């Protein structure tokens, strides 16, 4: 059963949100087909 991850692409906004929400970030540097 496949599942989707809702990747975010505005990393600076993600870092701001992570700080506010006290939640870690998984940052993927990828070259995979999108």
Partner 1 sequence: MYPDRRVAKLIDENFIPARVHARDDAKEFVRLGERYNAQWTPTILFLDPAGTERHRIEGFLPTDDFLAQVELGLAQMSFKRGDFADAERKFRAVVDTHGESDAAAEAMYWAGVSRYKGTGDASALGETARAFRDRYQDTPWAKRASVWGG
Helix/strand/coil for 13: helix
Characterize 1-34 residue by residue with b for buried, 16 or more Cβ atoms within 10 angstroms of its Cβ, and e for exposed: eeeeeeeeeeeeebeeeeeeeeeeeeeeeeeeee
Task: Tell me the closest approach of the beta carbon of residue 16 to partner 1, in angstroms.
Answer: 9
Task: Tell me the closest approach of the beta carbon of residue 11 to partner 1, in angstroms.
Answer: 5
Site for partner 1 in 1-30 (CB under 8 A): 1-11, 14-15, 17-19, 21-30
**Can you give the binding site for partner 1, defined by CB under 8 A?**
1-11, 14-15, 17-19, 21-32, 34
């Amino acid at each position: 059963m496949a599942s989707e991850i809702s990747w975010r692409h505005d990393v600076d906004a993600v870092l701001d949100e992570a700080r506010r929400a006290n939640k870690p970030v998984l940052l993927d540097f990828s070259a995979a087909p999108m």
